[in-house]
Amino acid sequence: AQKVTQAQTEISVVEKEDVTLDCVYETRDTTYYLFWYKQPPSGELVFLIRRNSFDEQNEISGRYSWNFQKSTSSFNFTITASQVVDSAVYFCALIYNTDKLIFGTGTRLQVFP
C-alpha cells in the first residue's frame, strides 16, 4: 500500500527553538517523489520542497532543512530557530505510479513568542 504517515498531530514550541517534523512513507515503486507543503492559517497550500527517490542528499534552505533516508523510508523536515510566522500545518506528500499525489494527515506547528 502507498501511504504517508505523519505521526505528530500537533507540536508546540517557543520561538527560537529547533523543531523536527517527521514523515514516514510507504511505496512499492522504485521511482517516487516526496514533497513538503505548508498551509498557513490563511488556508492556501505552499510548496516547500521536492525530492526524488534517487537523490538522498540532504537539503538546506535558510532555516529549513530536510533529511531523506531511504533506509528508514523517512523524509523529515527541520526548522531551525523557529519563528511565529512558521506556525502552520505542514504536509508531507508522495507521488507514486508517476501521477498519484497523496498526502499525510499533517502536523500542526504552533510557535509561541
Partner 1 sequence: DAGITQSPRHKVTETGTPVTLRCHQTENHRYMYWYRQDPGHGLRLIHYSYGVKDTDKGEVSDGYSVSRSKTEDFLLTLESATSSQTSVYFCAISESGGRPDTEAFFGQGTRLTVV
Q: Which residue among 25, 27, 104, 111 contacts partner 1 (CB under 8 A)?
A: 104
Count of residues that bind partner 1 according to CB under 8 A: 24
User: Site residues for partner 1, window 20-79 (CB under 8 A)?
Assistant: 31, 33, 35, 37, 43-45, 47, 50, 52
Question: In whole angstroms, what is the distance from residue 5 CA to residue 10 CA?
Answer: 14
Q: Which residue among 106, 110, 111, 113 contacts partner 1 (CB under 8 A)?
A: 106
Cell numbers placing 111: 510557535
Q: Is 1 in the site for partner 1 (CB under 8 A)?
A: no
Q: Which is nearer to partner 1, 17 or 29 (CB)?
A: 29
Question: In whole angstroms, what is the distance from residue 1 CA to residue 27 CA?
Answer: 6
**Cα 4 off chain centre by:** 10
Q: Which residue among 11, 17, 102, 110 contacts partner 1 (CB under 8 A)?
A: 102
List Cα–Cα distances, 4 to 11, 14, 34, 104, in angstroms: 18, 27, 10, 5
Give the SS3 label for residue 85. helix
Which DSSP letter does residue 31 get? S
- Residues at the site binding partner 1, with contacts judged by CB under 8 A: 6, 9, 31, 33, 35, 37, 43-45, 47, 50, 52, 91, 93, 95, 98-106
